[in-house]
Amino acid sequence: MSRSTDSAGKLDSIVRALNLLPYFQAHPDRSLMEAAKDLGRDPAELQEEINRLRCCGVGTWPEELVDLEADWTRVSITNSQGMDRPLRLTPTEAGALLLTLESLEGMPGLTDREAVISAAAKLRGIMDDRAVAIFDTLAVEDPAESTPQEVLREAVTAGRRVAFTYWSQSSDTTTRREVDPAKIFVTEGETYLTAWDRDADQHKNFRADRMTDVEILPEPATPHLDELPFDPADPFGYRMIAAQAELLIQPQHTWLADYFPITLGETAADGRVHARMPVGSQDWFIRFALGQSDRLTVTGPEDLVAEVRRSAVAALTAYDQGSTFDSNRAFS
């Protein structure tokens, strides 16, 4: 991690902690658990930030520090040292936020579109008129530069089928698809289309940046919305996947759980960490396991372990270079 990234992370942590002061002063009867729910935060992290506030203030003497009492039932701010207002956005931060909100305003299927429109309107109300005009202009894209996202939004609004060429990461293949659009959603900075696939007779998710040659078809779409359960906290439905792989992950590589749907468990006697991972596509999972073989070991179920081992042996045989790779040791 670079020094600048580390400093930005520390500043962000301090800002979040200081913004708790006006929150608890405005809500003196909130418990820690209620505050965590209101703010969408983890209760343990919230407790750490409250403890950090005891060391904040306008000086170094005890009477110059924030004075508060906190437990799991109540947080009482006795002396906020004048820090009783939320920290304000800089003009640059406000403009960037407005630009993001405006890009979301026209997105069909958004969980709470009214909240996005309301937040954008409030930002426009507090920003300088000239700045608003600049960011509103930036938000308007050239109609000639139509992106897959724009075409998909138009298809969802019009209720029409779409066709596109799609590269599937799970199977590492490129095919032409025709689907019935149901919902567009954004997660972790990427835009996805949930659509009814008539060939598979089920809903599937497609990432917009893996689409090319997107076109709207004249046929009306039948998106089967009544069969589409959508959980914003689990947009890909990982919790509904029955097939689960059992893993042992090297302790220094548990960061994989930040990037893949891996649930970490207890630490084994040898220091490795037990984990579970849903297997939505066996082909993709096998490629994943082979690519991460120096970081994790697949330990179950037995048929999945056998398939991973078979693929490893087949790959080494294809190289035919006398590799000393021990597949039994890595995938058992």
Identity of the amino acid at 323: S
Long-range contacts of 166-173, Cβ-Cβ distance < 8 Å, separation of 24 or more: 166/206, 166/210, 166/211, 166/212, 167/210, 168/210, 169/210, 169/284, 170/280, 170/281, 170/283, 170/284, 171/281, 171/283, 171/284, 172/283, 172/287
**Position 84 in a domain:** no
Q: Phi and psi for 253 in degrees, rounded to 5?
A: -120, 20
Q: What is the pLDDT of residue 108?
A: 52
Q: What is the DSSP letter of 86?
A: P
Q: What is the pLDDT of residue 142?
A: 43
- Closest residue by Cα to residue 309 from 282, 283, 329: 329
Domain count, the chain: 4
User: Does residue 260 share a domain with residue 230?
Assistant: no
* Residue range 267-313, pLDDT digits in tens: 999 999 999 998 878 888 998 899 898 999 999 999 999 999 998 88
Is residue 21 within 8 Å of residue 84, measured between CB atoms?
yes
Q: What is the pLDDT of residue 146?
A: 47
What's the first-to-final CA gap in the chain, in angstroms?
Answer: 34
**Position 109 in a domain:** yes
Q: What is the pLDDT of residue 184?
A: 84
* Exposed e or buried b per residue across 112-144, where buried means at least 16 C-beta atoms within 10 angstroms of its C-beta: eeeebeebbeebbeebeeebbeebeeebeeeee
**Position 49 in a domain:** yes
**Position 160 in a domain:** yes
Q: What is the pLDDT of residue 176?
A: 95
Residues of the chain with pLDDT under 50: 1-8, 134-135, 137-146, 323-325, 327, 329-330, 332
Q: What is the pLDDT of residue 330?
A: 47
User: Does residue 324 share a domain with residue 263?
Assistant: yes
User: Does residue 296 share a domain with residue 265?
Assistant: yes
What is the distance, to the nearest Å, from the Cα of residue 93 to the centroid of all Cα atoms in its chain?
21
Separation between Cα atoms, residue 170 and residue 291, nearest integer Å: 14
Q: What is the pLDDT of residue 196?
A: 92
pTM, whole model, 2 decimals? 0.42
Residues sharing a CB contact under 8 Å with residue 67, sequence separation 6 or more, in sequence order: 77, 78, 79
Domain with 311, as residue range(s), is 241-330
Q: What is the pLDDT of residue 140?
A: 47
- What the block records as the tokens of 330 is 């890595």
